């Protein structure tokens, strides 16, 4: 289920003539050790069982490896430590066990002072990510107000007897109800044609806040940032989850459900920067990268750029 870091994936160019300022990620990242100083910890979620259950295009289980390979050669402009924390792998169809293990690993990373960045993998990871954050709060003896910001074309609030990539935020809502906690969920990039009336109705019932993809445009960025600020002001911790299908298929073809319209990268990056600036971001993940449908490693490079930005 859990496998330690395989550092063979971290290979790239070395500019020895340029000196220490020419370092790249593959030269700086280290395998996570038990006594490691606090830093950014990359944890893979090698799973697409939820995508299969949701009748999507399988292949996202190979996402973590390809993101690492794309990230390895990027220029190092960071401070602090960055670690490879290994992978949680879904064996056979044991999605629920994989989500539980992801939560356990994340609670451990958070407890040791790291900032976890999960590399996916299907968006079923979101439930495991939330489990980890909730477990961390429990171990601290705290009950923080947790706000979830999702950059996504879909609500992922689907009603289903089985967990899938379409159900994680409904599962989180149910977990919040059981814990007598408020479900705080904000989505940027919802594609109206890709979400049924039933999903919009459920989102309304659960008090979800959302902005449609057609509203998430550069000329309305201040309005979007105001929405984010008001949301962040009312929580103690933020969990950011990015489904790569929020971006246009022209820049993110390698996903389970490519977006016809999508949200421009500059808008996504502005939202990421604003979330980081709150000082409340505890955990982030990237979902739905599917190398089987990528072209020229374009989506891998996009995912790596977003990880690069989050880690900086």
Total number of domains in the chain: 1
The CATH number assigned to the domain holding 101 equals 3.40.800.10
Kindly state the tokens that stand for 28: 């700086």
CA atoms within 13 A on the CB side of 270: 20
| CA–CA distance, 215 with 82 (Å, rounded to integer) | 35
| Residue 139, domain extent | 2-311
pLDDT in tens, 34-69: 999 999 999 999 999 989 898 888 899 999 999 999
Express each pLDDT in 142-182 by its tens digit.
Answer: 999 999 999 999 999 999 988 899 999 999 999 999 999 99
Cβ distance 206 to 251 under 8 Å? no
| pLDDT the model gives residue 97 | 96
Residues 243, 213: contact at Cβ < 8 Å?
Answer: no
The per-residue pLDDT for 113 is 98
Tens digits of residue pLDDT in 216-275: 999 999 999 999 999 999 999 999 999 999 999 999 999 999 999 999 999 999 999 999
Q: What percent of the chain has pLDDT over 90?
A: 90
Beta carbons of 23 and 123 less than 8 angstroms apart: no
What pLDDT score was predicted for residue 18?
Answer: 80
Q: At 277, list the tokens.
A: 């600036």
Average pLDDT of the chain to the nearest whole number: 96
Residues 71 and 26: their CA atoms lie apart, in Å, by 8
Q: How far is CA 180 from CA 143, 174, 175, in A?
A: 10, 10, 9
């Amino acid at each position: 289920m859990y496998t330690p870091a395989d550092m063979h994936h971290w290979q790239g160019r070395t500019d020895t003539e340029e000196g220490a300022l020419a370092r790249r990620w593959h030269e700086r990242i280290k395998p996570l050790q038990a006594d490691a100083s606090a830093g950014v910890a990359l944890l893979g979620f090698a799973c697409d069982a939820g995508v299969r259950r949701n009748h999507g295009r399988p292949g996202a289980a190979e996402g973590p490896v390809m993101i690492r390979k794309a990230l390895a050669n990027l220029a190092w402009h960071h401070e602090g430590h960055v670690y490879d924390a290994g992978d949680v792998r879904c064996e056979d169809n044991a999605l629920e066990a994989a989500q539980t293990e992801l939560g356990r690993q994340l609670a451990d990373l958070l407890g040791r002072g790291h900032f976890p960045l999960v590399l996916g993998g299907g968006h079923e990871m979101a439930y495991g990510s939330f489990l980890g954050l909730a477990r961390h709060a429990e171990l601290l003896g705290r009950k923080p107000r947790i706000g979830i910001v999702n950059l996504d074309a879909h609500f992922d609030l689907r009603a289903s007897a089985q967990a899938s990539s379409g159900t994680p935020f409904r599962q989180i809502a149910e977990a919040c109800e059981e814990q007598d906690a408020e479900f705080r969920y904000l989505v940027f990039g919802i594609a109206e044609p890709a979400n049924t009336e039933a999903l919009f109705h459920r989102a309304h019932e659960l008090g979800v806040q959302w902005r449609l993809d057609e509203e998430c445009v550069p000329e309305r960025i201040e309005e979007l940032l105001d929405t984010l600020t008001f949301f962040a002001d009312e929580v103690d911790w933020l969990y950011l989850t990015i489904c790569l299908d929020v971006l246009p298929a022209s820049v993110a073809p390698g996903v389970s459900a490519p977006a016809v319209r999508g949200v421009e990268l500059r808008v996504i990056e502005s939202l990421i920067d604003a979330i980081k600036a709150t000082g409340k971001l505890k955990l982030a993940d990237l979902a739905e990268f599917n190398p089987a449908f990528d072209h020229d490693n374009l989506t891998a490079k996009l995912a790596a750029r977003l990880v690069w930005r989050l880690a900086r």
